[in-house]
Structure 1
């Protein structure tokens, strides 16, 4: 058996290679934990704790609110909120009444908002008073009929709830909302709604729980249809992987946004499945993160490499007790070795690299947390997950160690793209999801990603993978962050350009960097152009926006 799946030999005895996943409404995660631990804190938000019973009560009320607004099972409800209690309540409430959640990035500008709301056909949007103006401007061009408005202050403890609007107005924020004509107050709707239990039965394998839009790296973003079964399976797969987690006792640091599928699964769903306390951080602020770790002692901190980089390089990190952190799963971008080693030395916990994509709910691979792991790899497939590397043109499986496109298969793989049958058919074939990532598998069954198929740089006929160069740049003592992209070149077709952010107080010349790279890379891989910058453009989850850098480049 392990000949076909060499990774199984590296499963620790606590992790079963296969598991029976419950088939029910995803909202049952909350209902079951609330029945087991009604008075345990489910959420912590800026000084306020909400018990499982309180979150359950509010979610039932939200489900009844939607029904009163005429929302039917299968209708789409957009949630455009940062990490705050209203987002969690709206999520579970929508699922309870059979609606489909559309997670919407609060940073979206009007154009992106119009595309997503129109494409999904959402009729209701839940948003913040701070974002109300933007939503109202987009609304006329979309099917949205009802706008439910919440505020950060809705769940703040006294006196923060009184001081918050005063501070925001002083900062120039617009908090005025004109209620009426399809615009409602979240708080008032909940107060008036029935708290009677409601949770519709669903065909978990077939019915969509979530429409999650992919970043739109290839143009307009597509809605990924994730079923109740997909998301339940991935919550169990990731929880089983973290087998030392104690039911009802873990504290999850919610620094990555729950509107991103990584945050949704490894923070929200996993925390609720294990009856943990989810510490909601509305936006990534390194000082707030350090204070939170110091006072609330979170045990689990999923994040992106940029978050761990910010933490280990912060001047205050030595004065803060970070030893409560046991498990960190890093996703969304490659994790540099130096970052991993320094973070583990600081916390005494384990920081492992995993891999996933929106189309797979998202996690498919991870390094064993407490077993044999290989630094610089994405680890091995999770239970009930298969993976292989194939020749991108012929589809033939590649020999061990050879680079090809990574394919995955498992209960977490999406149903398809929303209203895009052709794209679904080309992405999923015979149950295998074509990831678009180039990778390889070694003889132990550990996988490595070399790069996105589309990020490949072809310079003078050579295939160059940005990640390899980035690893070399990260090793330089003066460099805090770096990314590499292919830029047009008359002679070579494309050439390698490095975008570099230096550590505070450090200096580095282009010539010095070139010498560093020449000692560590084949000549054709050495960056021909270097741009030193104060920062790199990133998504909310900390992924560097290569595309934005290239767009800036083409304007120059």
Structure 2
């Protein structure tokens, strides 16, 4: 596949095929400029308070100074951040980056096993951890590389009460963010000379072995993806005017990239810490009156199910972004009727910073596709033999562009499998192009399950289940679910003589897996369908489900 397929669409929509990069060589320099330009404007906000660009500048500089002088970090050291959408997140993120370090995002819902693997694999020197996750962290502090633990509460950073309610008694010598900021304010930060190729994020993503892999995203990767987004949505980035409402966790690359993009134009970003609290969520939307909103299909559907959503004034809303999982046409239609904007869908992965394709602003209706490849990106659809798929036929989506990761962290074998001989990244997703060059995701070559926009890999679930002594073998598949898009379903064969039941196995799985990965449904069967060589056939199991 070549760019010629969507070239005519580019021309008709007024899209320039190549991105225009700014003068910044690092994301830090781009954000530094925003901090100065929009100093008096609110950068991040929650119902209880806000953080201006000037305050974000001061607090993140203090944190960077502490990391450099107290912890002795060096350029390229990895720092883990395990925080939900609270005001401390941008302070910690920017402080880590201004110290020249690599940010390693960690989900606060991780189990001990998941967190231990990530901290060990990345050799993290420190971790900033949410107060509600310290019990998990306390069980994995055997990692000798982890020199410091900084606990973070819900309060406004720098206000003197950000450590209230911390549950860190199980962690010896843990510090509080407020202590770090107070000490850092007395220290001098040394600006770090960063290059475009320096690592910015290690964004961990699931793998077929069940162990997550760190996608190495550089400053150049994120700067390119930001420029690509700006190229297709130019009028949706009014300097100093945009207001976001972010309910997707910032540790997710989708929310992180969009938030960083809007930071560069001085937007105010309202953070939703708990989108499951629908009443609180709606109150926030009433107060924020966002011009930009992003979510996964289940988030939009969940809001639309709330009668109180009619209380929100959506007259300010100009853009609704969908990603993480396919947006259903019915949901977009209902959202359009409620808000006046349809859901504009895109496609991406952690490995691509994340945006590969998007429905540009010149498209004025829901397309049931993920739009055109963003400028500077080439997409090929390959068949099972590695050849270009026939016109209109499905094929594995393979991507080349400046937003594609450098590779997986310390995974040479995985990297060899992830890229074609001519440098295209194999996404594992199956897609088709229509006549206009709009990309539609039709299936996943990998057996990944998407639950409310979060990836669940069957091998990881199967590996955890197989640790139970009463289980002989199992297979995990995704099944359609009205609420979460897909739900995890596990088919199990008991060992002879075992009386294993669903409740017991679910309890076992919760010890190893985050809640969204635990199977919603467990089915016990006498045997699993297999190929002639004994390979379990998931496609046959899906037919049973």
- After TM superposition, the score normalised by the length of structure 1 is 0.78
Does 2:267 match 1:276?
yes
Aligned pairs (5 A) from 1:143-222: 143-155=145-157, 175-178=166-169, 182-194=173-185, 196=188, 198-204=190-196, 206-216=197-207, 218-222=209-213
Task: Please give the alpha-carbon distance, in whole angstroms, between the structure 2 residues aligned to 1:40 and 1:11.
Answer: 37
Task: Please give the alpha-carbon distance, in whole angstroms, between the structure 2 residues aligned to 1:145 and 1:555.
Answer: 48
CA pair 374-6 structure 1, distance change in 2 beyond 3 A: farther
Q: Which residue is equivalent to 2:400?
A: 409
Partner SS for 2:228: helix
The counterpart of 2:231, out of the listed 232, 240, 248, is 240
Contact 2:274 2:281 in 1 (8 A): no
Task: Please give the alpha-carbon distance, in whole angstroms, between the structure 1 residues aligned to 2:250 and 2:326.
Answer: 20
Task: Please give the alpha-carbon distance, in whole angstroms, between the structure 1 residues aligned to 2:141 and 2:266.
Answer: 37
Task: Please give the alpha-carbon distance, in whole angstroms, between the structure 1 residues aligned to 2:47 and 2:476.
Answer: 47
Of residues 344-353 and 111-120 in structure 1, the stretch that sits farther from structure 2 once superposed is: 344-353
Contact 1:101 1:211 in 2 (8 A): yes
CA pair 322-90 structure 1, distance change in 2 beyond 3 A: same
Q: Which residue is equivalent to 1:256?
A: 248
Q: Which residue is equivalent to 1:552?
A: 522
Does 2:342 match 1:377?
no
Deviation per CA, 1:420-446: give whole Å up to 9, x if none: 012112212322111000111122111
Q: Which runs of 5+ in 2 are unaligned?
A: 459-474, 485-513, 527-545
Contact 2:78 2:123 in 1 (8 A): yes
Task: Please give the alpha-carbon distance, in whole angstroms, between the structure 1 residues aligned to 2:180 and 2:271.
Answer: 23
Task: Please give the alpha-carbon distance, in whole angstroms, between the structure 2 residues aligned to 1:396 and 1:413.
Answer: 21
Q: Which residue is equivalent to 2:26?
A: 25
Cα displacement (A) at 1:129:
2.2
Q: Which residue is equivalent to 1:421?
A: 412
Deviation per CA, 1:35-70: give whole Å up to 9, x if none: 111111111123212111110111111111111211
Does 2:54 match 1:53?
yes
Tell me the C-alpha RMSD between the 2 structures.
3.3
Q: Which residue is equivalent to 2:461?
A: none
Cα displacement (A) at 1:133:
2.2
Contact 1:82 1:282 in 2 (8 A): yes
CA pair 198-84 structure 1, distance change in 2 beyond 3 A: farther
Q: Which residue is equivalent to 1:34?
A: 35
CA pair 550-320 structure 1, distance change in 2 beyond 3 A: closer
The counterpart of 2:355, out of the listed 333, 343, 363, is 363
Q: Which residue is equivalent to 1:534?
A: none
Task: Please give the alpha-carbon distance, in whole angstroms, between the structure 2 residues aligned to 1:442 and 1:56.
Answer: 46
The counterpart of 2:323, out of the listed 311, 326, 331, is 331
Contact 2:382 2:389 in 1 (8 A): yes
Deviation per CA, 1:350-399: give whole Å up to 9, x if none: 4111100111000110112332666211111011111121112x211112
Cα displacement (A) at 1:76:
0.4
CA pair 502-44 structure 1, distance change in 2 beyond 3 A: closer
Cα displacement (A) at 1:14:
5.3
The counterpart of 1:90, out of the listed 89, 92, 100, is 92
Contact 2:343 2:366 in 1 (8 A): no
CA pair 193-46 structure 1, distance change in 2 beyond 3 A: same
Partner SS for 1:232: helix
Q: Which runs of 5+ in 1 are unaligned?
A: 169-174, 457-465, 471-482, 486-493, 504-542
Task: Please give the alpha-carbon distance, in whole angstroms, between the structure 1 residues aligned to 2:116 and 2:146.
Answer: 10
CA pair 334-36 structure 1, distance change in 2 beyond 3 A: same
Does 2:102 match 1:132?
no
Task: Please give the alpha-carbon distance, in whole angstroms, between the structure 1 residues aligned to 2:61 and 2:424.
Answer: 37
Q: Which residue is equivalent to 1:397?
A: 388
Q: Which residue is equivalent to 1:303?
A: 295
Contact 1:29 1:272 in 2 (8 A): no
Cα displacement (A) at 1:132:
1.8
CA pair 11-185 structure 1, distance change in 2 beyond 3 A: farther
Cα displacement (A) at 1:254:
1.2
Contact 2:298 2:483 in 1 (8 A): no
Contact 1:117 1:142 in 2 (8 A): no
Contact 2:138 2:170 in 1 (8 A): no
Q: Which residue is equivalent to 2:283?
A: 291
Cα displacement (A) at 1:91:
1.1
Contact 1:47 1:157 in 2 (8 A): no
CA pair 345-145 structure 1, distance change in 2 beyond 3 A: same
Does 2:46 match 1:76?
no
Partner SS for 2:212: coil
Task: Please give the alpha-carbon distance, in whole angstroms, between the structure 2 residues aligned to 1:19 and 1:192.
Answer: 42
Q: How many residues matched? A: 472
CA pair 212-11 structure 1, distance change in 2 beyond 3 A: farther
CA pair 106-2 structure 1, distance change in 2 beyond 3 A: closer
